[in-house]
Chains A and B, each alone.
Chain A
Amino acid sequence: MGGICDKLIFDFSTPKTLLIKLSGDWHISAGLLETSEVTPQLIAHPDIIQINFAVTQELKWDSGLIAFLLKLIKECGQKKIQVACEGLPQEAQKLLALALKEHEKTVLPQKAPKSFFEEIGKKTLKMGDSLAQALNFLGDIAVSLTRLMTGKSYFRWDDFMLLIKRCGVDTLLLVSLISLLVGMILAFVGSIQLKMFGAQIFVADMVGIAMVRVLSAVMTGIIVSGRIGASFAAELGMMQANEEIDALRTLGVDPVEFLVIPRVLALVLMMPILTIYADLMGILGSFLISIGMLHLSPVEYLNHTQQAVKINSVWIGLIHSLVFAVIIAIAGCLRGMQCERNAAGVGQATTSAVVTGITGIVIATAIITFICQVLGV
């Protein structure tokens, strides 16, 4: 007889049989015992053909013991040693039987390994699919808009008014703050350079043109993309996950008509208004810095602004904002409709909507600026 640790006592008194006495704390919290505690005994006594168990009164156990026994049974199976579980506590025998029952019938699903090129090919095809889906979605929106204009589709004005409130009024405070600060920063940074030439008054021209022509629209676009685009994606994504969109389809209602069109229209209506508001806030921010810190005359500042900002610049700013509204609304709704039916999918859809929205805004800005340059506007 010999003891290895306080949990296992080995008894070789019966020929060809190893009796393992289990004792001590076998709870998971006490750590798991490795079968390597038993292996040396089996190597030292190669004549062993059966293992029996006995338990002492001090034995405390939970799944930790079962995990150890399962490993031991597996190892003994390879060495053709029989393991008799009769000496174990009744409950442990039942759990072991349950675990072993499953081991016998389980067929492990085989996963074919994917090659590097196969992965790249699949990703490329997926990108193509994704582009096709986006184009299909645009087509669906165009068809639904035509149906709406010809009075053939169902339009919920209550939802539309709520969306207008969300896109407009609820976003106003954030747009005010950001635009005011951007105006202030531009004036402050610009004045440092212009001061060197004694031309501080041109801060008015610079900020006025920059804000009205492009910056207000871009800043508003980024705010709206993070706030509204993400909320569209999350909302439609949850509806997709909860099968609400399927319920609309089975009712014969086109989800694009019912959910997407009101969102696109609300944003297209609100974005230009928010942009004009952001223009004014940006100019106000610059005005405050110019009066307060650069000591320019208020009348002179306003005159310069009025002369510098042409109506063309306002139109270009509005075109920017309209294009951004379409991009943000479509990105948000498309990602929401493509959402996988789980919580992680909703998160991915939201992130993707914001990333697509902001990337789209930057690309669109570059294209519009280039066109304006070519046209000499």
Chain B
Amino acid sequence: MDHQAVIEVQDLDLGYDDYLVMKNINFSINKGDIFIVMGVSGCGKSTLLKSMIGLKEPSRGKVLFNAKSFWDADEKGQLDMMRHFGVLYQSGALWSSLTVGQNVALPLQLYTKLSKEQIQEIVALKLSLVGLSGHEDFFPSGISGGMCKRVSLARAIALDPDIIFFDEPSAGLDPINSRMLDDLILELRDGLGATFVIVTHELPSIFAIGNNSIFLDEKSKTMIASGNPKELLVNCKDPRVVQFLTRGKTDDEQKSK
């Protein structure tokens, strides 16, 4: 696999007005990585994601995509970079007034010169990749939460992006659907060759798909560990990380196991 950094985050500080959420965040993500941003609820994971997808300007620091700084670029430069992203939001964020097919077709209508029939072909392909072929005419209100997430994924990959961001993909899903989504992420990584950045605190997902990660700590307001989650579980000595990765079990509980 090509180990070229597609995303680099340098000395990033994030906050809302005078309130500091995170400081001194530094990491890089290689092409083809499934990179996990983990931490307890409210630690600033989603805020970090927002600063990476262009929704929240950091107070300080840089976010580099293929060595180009996103927040230093002009509007056109930022839009060009955003064309290479796909984002799956926590709620799915499907446009409720559009059908499933129209949701996936919209990015293609906006950014390609394909004919209506060709767009329908690509929509059918993307929906089949997420296991939902034939569901084009359903409205988001008529399908289940798990299906909404998969449609949202089909929309995120509509333009074959280089990087796909996920905000809590397993939130609100049962273990079977959650596992199905994890498998799909792995299959799509292998098929599309894309890089995945996933914000989550779901331990089974973290261990099943993540090959690199950072851990954000709420109290010190910065990242306190990075690396492969499975290796962190074995090697990391920081009690906060260990407690998180073992679902809050104490040392005694772990020893007695």
Contact = CB atoms under 8 A, between A and B. Distances in A.
Interface of A: 27-29, 31-32, 62-64, 66-67, 70-71, 91-92, 94-95, 98-99, 102-103, 106-109, 111, 340-345, 347
Nearest to B140: A342
B133 A102 contact: yes
A299 B38 CA distance: 78
Given A99-B125, A342-B96, 19 more contacts: A31-B113, A31-B118, A32-B121, A63-B125, A63-B126, A66-B125, A67-B118, A67-B121, A98-B129, A98-B187, A99-B129, A102-B128, A103-B133, A106-B133, A107-B134, A340-B141, A342-B140, A343-B96, A347-B97
B108 interface: yes
Contacts of A102: 128-129, 131-133
Contacts of A108: 134
A347 B187 CA distance: 39
B192 A28 contact: no
Contacts of A345: 96
Interface string B64-82: 0000000000000000000
The 8 closest A-B pairs by CB, nearest first: A95-B191, A342-B96, A62-B160, A344-B97, A94-B191, A108-B134, A102-B128, A99-B128
Contacts of B129: 95, 98-99, 102
A265 B70 CA distance: 53
A335 B251 CA distance: 56
B93 to A, nearest CB: 10
19 contacts: A27-B160, A28-B114, A29-B113, A31-B118, A62-B192, A63-B122, A67-B118, A67-B121, A67-B122, A91-B192, A91-B193, A94-B191, A99-B125, A102-B132, A106-B128, A106-B133, A107-B134, A342-B140, A342-B141
Mostly, the A contact residues are helix
B190 A91 contact: yes
B96 A344 contact: yes
Contacts of A67: 118, 121-122, 125
Contacts of A92: 191
Interface of B: 95-97, 108, 112-114, 118, 121-122, 125-126, 128-129, 131-135, 137, 140-141, 157, 159-160, 187-188, 190-193
B121 to A, nearest CB: 5
Which of A95, A107, A341 gathers the greatest number of chain B CB atoms within 10 Å? A95
Contacts of A63: 122, 125-126, 157, 160
A71 B124 CA distance: 11
Contacts of A91: 190-193
A89 B127 CA distance: 22
A27 B192 CA distance: 12
B145 to A, nearest CB: 13
Given A32-B114, A94-B190, A341 B141 contact: yes
Contacts of A343: 95-97
Contact of B114 (A31, A109, A340, A342): A31
A32 B128 contact: no
A321 B187 CA distance: 65
Contacts of A103: 128, 133
A94 B193 CA distance: 11
A304 B140 CA distance: 63
Contacts of A66: 125
A32 B134 CA distance: 21
B191 A106 contact: no
Given A94-B191, A99-B125, A344-B96, A109 B160 contact: no
B248 to A, nearest CB: 29
A94 B112 CA distance: 25
A37 to B, nearest CB: 14
Contacts of A341: 141
Contacts of B131: 102
A345 B97 CA distance: 9
Contacts of A111: 137
Contacts of B126: 63
A360 B97 CA distance: 28
Contacts of B191: 91-92, 94-95, 98
A95 B188 CA distance: 7
A62 B114 CA distance: 14
